[in-house]
Protein backbone atom coordinates (compact mmCIF):
# COMPACT_ATOMS: atom_id res chain seq x y z
CA UNK A 1 0.00 0.00 0.00
CA UNK A 2 1.32 3.44 -0.89
CA UNK A 3 1.79 5.91 1.96
CA UNK A 4 0.15 9.12 0.77
CA UNK A 5 2.01 11.20 3.38
CA UNK A 6 5.52 9.67 3.69
CA UNK A 7 7.08 12.79 5.31
CA UNK A 8 4.33 13.81 7.79
CA UNK A 9 3.40 16.73 5.55
CA UNK A 10 0.85 19.11 7.02
CA UNK A 11 -1.13 21.91 5.44
CA UNK A 12 -0.42 25.53 6.28
CA UNK A 13 -3.72 27.05 7.38
CA UNK A 14 -3.09 30.58 6.00
CA UNK A 15 -2.01 29.17 2.61
CA UNK A 16 -4.98 26.79 2.52
CA UNK A 17 -7.20 29.81 2.61
CA UNK A 18 -5.33 31.53 -0.24
CA UNK A 19 -4.15 28.67 -2.48
CA UNK A 20 -5.80 25.27 -2.12
CA UNK A 21 -3.32 23.26 -4.22
CA UNK A 22 -0.09 24.35 -2.47
CA UNK A 23 1.96 21.26 -1.44
CA UNK A 24 1.93 20.41 2.26
CA UNK A 25 5.23 21.32 3.97
CA UNK A 26 7.23 18.59 5.72
CA UNK A 27 8.29 19.22 9.33
CA UNK A 28 11.65 20.91 9.87
CA UNK A 29 12.18 19.45 13.33
CA UNK A 30 10.53 16.85 15.51
CA UNK A 31 10.74 14.87 18.72
CA UNK A 32 9.77 11.19 18.90
CA UNK A 33 8.11 10.36 22.19
CA UNK A 34 6.76 6.85 22.61
CA UNK A 35 4.49 6.19 19.66
CA UNK A 36 4.14 9.88 18.77
CA UNK A 37 6.00 12.47 16.73
CA UNK A 38 5.82 16.09 17.82
CA UNK A 39 6.55 17.97 14.61
CA UNK A 40 7.41 21.61 13.94
CA UNK A 41 6.66 23.29 10.62
CA UNK A 42 7.53 26.55 8.90
CA UNK A 43 5.69 27.25 5.67
CA UNK A 44 8.18 28.03 2.88
CA UNK A 45 5.62 30.26 1.18
CA UNK A 46 4.35 32.51 3.98
CA UNK A 47 6.59 31.79 7.00
CA UNK A 48 3.75 30.66 9.27
CA UNK A 49 5.01 28.31 11.99
CA UNK A 50 3.02 25.63 13.79
CA UNK A 51 3.39 22.39 15.72
CA UNK A 52 1.34 19.24 15.79
CA UNK A 53 1.42 15.68 17.13
CA UNK A 54 1.26 12.63 14.86
CA UNK A 55 0.99 8.93 15.64
CA UNK A 56 4.25 7.40 14.40
CA UNK A 57 3.87 5.43 11.18
CA UNK A 58 6.59 2.83 10.48
CA UNK A 59 8.65 3.66 7.38
CA UNK A 60 7.93 7.37 7.26
CA UNK A 61 10.81 9.84 7.09
CA UNK A 62 11.41 11.51 10.45
CA UNK A 63 12.54 15.12 10.76
CA UNK A 64 15.73 15.89 12.72
CA UNK A 65 15.48 16.53 16.44
CA UNK A 66 15.79 20.19 17.42
CA UNK A 67 19.55 20.53 17.92
CA UNK A 68 21.68 23.66 18.37
CA UNK A 69 21.20 24.74 14.74
CA UNK A 70 17.40 24.64 15.07
CA UNK A 71 17.54 26.50 18.36
CA UNK A 72 19.71 29.18 16.71
CA UNK A 73 17.74 29.53 13.46
CA UNK A 74 14.22 28.56 14.56
CA UNK A 75 14.20 29.37 18.29
CA UNK A 76 10.45 29.87 18.62
CA UNK A 77 9.63 26.70 16.69
CA UNK A 78 12.16 24.62 18.66
CA UNK A 79 10.66 25.95 21.90
CA UNK A 80 7.11 25.20 20.77
CA UNK A 81 8.02 21.61 19.79
CA UNK A 82 9.65 21.04 23.19
CA UNK A 83 6.70 22.63 24.97
CA UNK A 84 4.14 20.46 23.16
CA UNK A 85 6.23 17.33 23.88
CA UNK A 86 6.23 18.27 27.58
CA UNK A 87 2.46 18.89 27.56
CA UNK A 88 1.86 15.51 25.87
CA UNK A 89 3.99 13.78 28.52
CA UNK A 90 2.05 15.58 31.27
CA UNK A 91 -1.27 14.38 29.85
CA UNK A 92 0.00 10.78 29.85
CA UNK A 93 1.41 10.96 33.37
CA UNK A 94 -1.19 10.12 36.00
CA UNK A 95 -1.52 12.53 38.87
CA UNK A 96 0.31 11.55 42.03
CA UNK A 97 -2.02 10.05 44.64
CA UNK A 98 -0.94 12.71 47.16
CA UNK A 99 -1.63 15.61 44.76
CA UNK A 100 -4.39 18.08 45.66
ZN1 LIG B 1 1.80 29.26 4.39
Distance 51 CA to ligand 1 centre (A): 13
pLDDT tens sequence across 76-86:
999 999 999 99
Domain range annotation of the chain? 13-92
In whole angstroms, how far apart are CA 30 and each of 2, 22, 62, 89, 95? 23, 22, 7, 15, 27
Query: The pTM is what?
Result: 0.85
Looking at residue 100, its pLDDT comes to: 56
Q: Is the torsion defined by CA of 6, 32, 79, 89 positive or negative?
A: positive
Return the percentage of the chain with pLDDT > 70, whole number. Answer: 95
Distance 45 CA to ligand 1 centre (A): 5
pLDDT tens sequence across 21-44:
777 899 999 999 999 999 999 999
Distance 40 CA to ligand 1 centre (A): 13
Distance 28 CA to ligand 1 centre (A): 14
Looking at residue 59, its pLDDT comes to: 93
Looking at residue 81, its pLDDT comes to: 96
Distance 52 CA to ligand 1 centre (A): 15
Amino acid sequence: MTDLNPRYGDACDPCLIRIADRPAPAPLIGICDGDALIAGYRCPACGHQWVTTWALVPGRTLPPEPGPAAVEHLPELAARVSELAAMNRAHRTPARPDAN
